[in-house]
Structure 1
Amino acid sequence: MSKAKWWTIAAHEYAVHAKRKGFLIATFGTPLLLVAIFAAIFAFIAFGDQSNSLGVVDQAGITQKLPATVTITDTLRKDVAVIRFDDENLAKAALSKQEIDGYVVIPSDYLQSGALRGVANEGNLSSDARDRFKDYMQKALISNQPSLNDQRALEPIDQVYNRKPNSAVETSEGQGILLFFAPYLFGIFFFIAVFSSSAYLMTALVEEKESRVMEILATSLRPFELMVGKIVGLGLVGLTQISIWVGTALLAFTIARANIEGMANLTLPTNVLLIGAVMFVPAYLMVAGALGAIGASVSAVQEGQQFSGIISILMISPVWFINMIIENPNGPLALFLSLFPFTAPIVMMQRVALVSVPAWQIGLSVLLLVGMAFVMIWLSARIVRVGMLRYGKRLTLTEIRRALSLGGQHGE
């Protein structure tokens, strides 16, 4: 096979599809959309329905051991000062001057009744104010119990470290959540990148058949050269896309770790990302080969999209079994799905995140995926050889079987 010919096709496919509006919008728009969504969530938490400063009038005398002004902190929300007033008239005056957003009166019978009285210009204290007063009251009550450790009474459990039986590896709750979601987040990127670039291949083959460009290509290229060139070129398009997405996600994670206290101790599951990186190329080649065979067999893009839905269903089917995989990651179902090429990437990433997967299972999974990729490319090249000149016609099952049985007699 002439390297110059297939590489020329690959370079042409990359140049054409990397400039498509759809590719550019999906590649750069997806990270921007995710950033905008998370920014909106954090902005809502940080700035929505919040108080600046609050007052308290203590008629029960339970806050006397606290400073006159106590600052209530929160990881995501701004700090709020709670100011103690000796008289309710002083609190009313501060409220009228907008020095505080509201105040709470602690009645003399609070310890028996548990009832408080809130005053605000709107009539009701905001939910944020009520939350802050709850924290303040906990501090006040604990300050009256000198035998208690204030910090442990306020936060009885700082962190729970989990591990499996006979394992010395411990993970925090936050790290466990990250381990759970990382494979599926990476899997979403993986799925979109693989299918978008592979779909370009199928569409290009159908359009070239309809426009009879295939007839020109057939005079200078063998079908195998044509398919390798297209698959490599579009594979580089998909690799570019997922590299930008993963790079953006890593940057966002690094910024979050540096600025959000609760994420400071989280670490990326590098073993999961490594498995995903190793499986991306053969998974793409496998799907591209399958969609290439579909593109060479059908006569219209819409018809090809219907058949490609079968491949999509196979790839996303692990989502249906997520609970069973998590409950028994070394069970027969999880093992089978992590070895079956069309479901292996996502399931193997999930298993590696949850348990120690034997090296032979990872190796066998990658080997089966690579083998299926070669089979699909071989299959697509054989079908392209017969279908590339069938203008306006769809290959029948009989013709496809004939193409496979006779392909080796005429060369590729």
Structure 2
Amino acid sequence: MARHNLGTVVQFEFTRTVKKRRFWIATLAIPVLLAIVFVLVFVSSSSAQNRTEQQKNQSLDFSYTDASQLIDPAVATAMGGRVETSPGTAVERVKEGKLNAYFSFPATITKEPVLVYGTDQGIFKNGTYDAVAKQLVILSAQEKVGSAELTAAVQGNFSTEAQTFKDGQPSGGLETVVPPLLFLVLFYVVIILLANQMLASTLEEKENRVTEMILTTLDPTTLVVGKVISLFLVGAVQALVFSTPMLLGYVFFRGQLAIPDFDLSALQFQFLPMLVGALLFIGGFILFTGVLVGIGAVMPTAKDAASVFAPVMIMMFVPFYVVTLVVSDPGSMIVQVFTYFPFTAPITAILRNAFGSLNGVSAVIVIAELFVFGLLALRVAVHLFRYGSIEYSRKLSLRRAFTKKG
């Protein structure tokens, strides 16, 4: 009978939630906004690309003087330049609009600035003058050096390939870090999208004055556990809807949206870090769900619950204030505290697990802690719901609730 009741609760809560119009409005709002942003970025990128192509096909009309003897006349001519025959009047002609641009290259360009004068074409297009002057020097230097390889070496235009080792084995880079970090993204998406649902899961029946009737046919434990399972299923639906436009954008419009070309096939899904990440995610989800459901059981209305709800959610973001220490100095005192404090443990431990600084013993301790405190929070939430279900007009007294016999 209990199993039947649990399935009924899960089905009822899940169906009731996904049938609400406001649920789909809230769920689809983010994908729709992302789709609009993608379209705007796509249009802007296409326009910018067209403008760039047009600018490439147009040479900049300018004159120049070269005291450094570095400028190659042939390169300058190809870029639209010519030697200035009247340097004394060049700046005045630029001011009057008779000359588009004038560059004055000093005797020693490493010690003196190149003087660039041009007619105003707007704050963004004005940067073209500096860019052309610098490009002219670079191309002329390449011609004088006579070796593209040597020029690239001087400019630092070459790549390196690094390999690091850990415990005698090759250690991965981002390819091994990114997969476990997906649990961090999933944790934030699920908790943020479902936080209000978690809080309202026990408040709704209280505000509708139907809790007593429900508890005459259902055990409080079955009801709360059923609500938690339905919340997890609702979160899976929202996460799927939320991620769909991003996946479509990455697969089909990566070039147009200027998304970095990250080779997903290079990702390394190592079993142990992925297992630890999954357990940390589940444990953290149970803990935060139990706490938020408990808050809903104590408070008479959603307005009253909001004052307690905010600090709980803020604790999810506190670890990001020390994220540099989490990555660079995981042994520091504050990182250790955040690793084992229940409300900051999921985020901190998932970060450390991804970057390889969470050893096996610490991982077991944190996972056990999250599950123990999470199940305890659910148990307390059940108890509070049992005695807070009829407190419609005032907050449940915790002292009275825990002194009553279940």
Secondary structure, counterpart of 1:149 in structure 2: helix
- Superposition deviation, residue 319 in structure 1: 2.5
Change (3 A) 1:252 1:4: same
- Superposition deviation, residue 54 in structure 1: 3.1
Secondary structure, counterpart of 1:376 in structure 2: helix
Change (3 A) 1:206 1:242: same
Counterpart in 2 of 1:54?
A: 59
> Normalising to structure 2: TM-score of the pair?
0.74
> Normalising to structure 1: TM-score of the pair?
0.73
Deviations 1:105-135 (A, max 9, x none): 4557666665355444748852245335423
**2:206 counterpart of 1:209:** yes
RMSD (Å), alpha carbons = 4.1
Contact 2:280 2:346 in 1 (8 A): yes
**2:391 counterpart of 1:390:** yes
> What are the equivalent positions in structure 2 for 1:97-136 lying under 5 Å apart?
104-106=101-103, 114-120=113-119, 122=121, 126-136=126-136
Contact 2:295 2:305 in 1 (8 A): yes
- Superposition deviation, residue 322 in structure 1: 2.6
Contact 1:201 1:291 in 2 (8 A): yes
Counterpart in 2 of 1:282?
A: 283
- Superposition deviation, residue 225 in structure 1: 0.9
Change (3 A) 1:296 1:321: same
1:169 pairs, out of 171, 180, 195, with 171
Moved more, 136-145 or 352-361: 352-361
Counterpart in 1 of 2:233?
A: 236
Change (3 A) 1:123 1:380: closer
**What letter is aligned with 1:359?**
G
Contact 1:235 1:285 in 2 (8 A): no
Matched residues in 2 for 1:337 and 1:273: separation? 21
> What are the equivalent positions in structure 2 for 1:86-105 lying under 5 Å apart?
104-105=101-102
Matched residues in 2 for 1:352 and 1:344: separation? 11
Moved more, 121-130 or 388-397: 121-130
Counterpart in 2 of 1:143?
A: 143
Deviations 1:291-339 (A, max 9, x none): 2222222212111121223322332221233343233124443244233
Matched residues in 1 for 2:346 and 2:283: separation? 10
Moved more, 276-285 or 263-272: 263-272
> What are the equivalent positions in structure 2 for 1:249-398 lying under 5 Å apart?
249-254=246-251, 263-264=261-262, 276-398=277-399
- Superposition deviation, residue 44 in structure 1: 6.7
Change (3 A) 1:277 1:242: farther
- Superposition deviation, residue 240 in structure 1: 1.9
2:72 pairs, out of 43, 63, 72, with 63
Change (3 A) 1:128 1:338: farther
Counterpart in 2 of 1:73?
A: none
Matched residues in 1 for 2:132 and 2:43: separation? 19
Q: Any stretches of 5+ residues in structure 2 without a counterpart?
A: 86-98
Moved more, 158-167 or 393-402: 158-167
Matched residues in 2 for 1:160 and 1:132: separation? 32
Moved more, 371-380 or 275-284: 275-284
Matched residues in 2 for 1:122 and 1:165: separation? 55
**2:226 counterpart of 1:224:** no
Moved more, 136-145 or 185-194: 185-194
Counterpart in 2 of 1:84?
A: 80
Counterpart in 1 of 2:94?
A: none
Aligned length: 375
Contact 2:297 2:381 in 1 (8 A): yes
Contact 2:62 2:81 in 1 (8 A): yes
**What letter is aligned with 1:24?**
W
**2:190 counterpart of 1:193:** yes
Matched residues in 1 for 2:282 and 2:369: separation? 13
Matched residues in 2 for 1:108 and 1:201: separation? 68
- Superposition deviation, residue 19 in structure 1: 3.8
Matched residues in 2 for 1:179 and 1:39: separation? 31
Contact 2:63 2:82 in 1 (8 A): yes
Matched residues in 1 for 2:369 and 2:287: separation? 11
**What letter is aligned with 2:80?**
R
**What letter is aligned with 1:23?**
F
Q: Any stretches of 5+ residues in structure 1 without a counterpart?
A: 70-82, 90-101, 408-412
**What letter is aligned with 1:244?**
V
Moved more, 158-167 or 364-373: 158-167
**What letter is aligned with 1:169?**
S
- Superposition deviation, residue 347 in structure 1: 0.9
Deviations 1:214-236 (A, max 9, x none): 12111110101111111111221
Contact 1:223 1:384 in 2 (8 A): yes
